[in-house]
Chain A
Amino acid sequence: MSFVISQTGRTFFRGIIAPPKFLMFDAYYCCLMAGLDARKIGSTEDLDSDPFLNGYPDDFKGQADIIAGLLIDAELDRKDIQAEDRASIEREMTRLIDPTSATRLNNDGDKLLNLYAAAGLALIQDKIMPPSTIEEFLVAYHRFWHVDAEPTEA
């Protein structure tokens, strides 16, 4: 698995990427979560960059099953596969899952992660200014998820 985050993504998060406090993967992951939640994938052209990491960092290893589940969930929804369509659901799972991979996903699944992350980045950039501190980003990212409720804004 090779994670790719676009040039604009790298520039956007540049002010706060400071391992181990905030990893490049943290940036990628925040974008991925946003993309999966929106059921949107970016295009391959958005991945105009070199992979920055192979495999999950230690802090994320325990989340592999969950992230793979979220991908399948997003794919079912994006393709509008009905909850009762057992055959299609099973086919989706056979299409994406590789038990031997660290991400539990095969190449196709891994590529999809990158595409969801690319779409997520675009959504984040729409709503958030490039952050200069982690605390600022944590607040902004929370607001991004609760854009309707606005519970944190006074």
Chain B
Amino acid sequence: MSLKNKDVVSALKKYPVIFACGLLNVAIILAIYYRGDVVPAATAQLETKTVLSDRLKANLVNSAQLAEQREALVAANAAIDSRLVRASELAKNQQYFYRLEAETGTKYKDLKQLPPTPTLKGGGNAYVAVPYSIVVEGGYSQLLTFMRRLEGGAPFCRVSSVNLSRETTDLSNPLLVLTLSIELLGQP
């Protein structure tokens, strides 16, 4: 046994507690060091799972009445579909306007269906706008009734521009002319 080893052994015998603690401390420090990365990794994993769990929970909370609300929308859209016009059904569409004419006592000077256009810019629309150019003649109350029926009628109607003017400059003439540019909501 060398002198160095002898010293170590004698020191070990002299301070056994310190040596034991020293060895233990080295082991603990190594354990703390190598296990140190596990805690942040676990924390990150917990955060990810918590976020996911919260999102799923929020989905469930927010969808509590979703089925009923969707059913209500489906029913509303079915009602809307029944009020849509079809651009291809020209005669049927004209029939609607001639019925209006007969009911209000007005007289068309011009009635034209124009090619359908998208209701909104950007595409992906569920509906199209079926434009109409109308010139109709009648008394004030007749034209007012005509407009009322048109605006509140079965097909959804958007008035793009309208001009109401006297047919002549003669103030005693009760006839008025209503020039309309309208769009009816239609199926694509």
Question: Do A and B make up one complex?
Answer: no
Q: Which residues of B contact A (CB under 8 A)?
A: none
Q: Which residues of A contact B (CB under 8 A)?
A: none
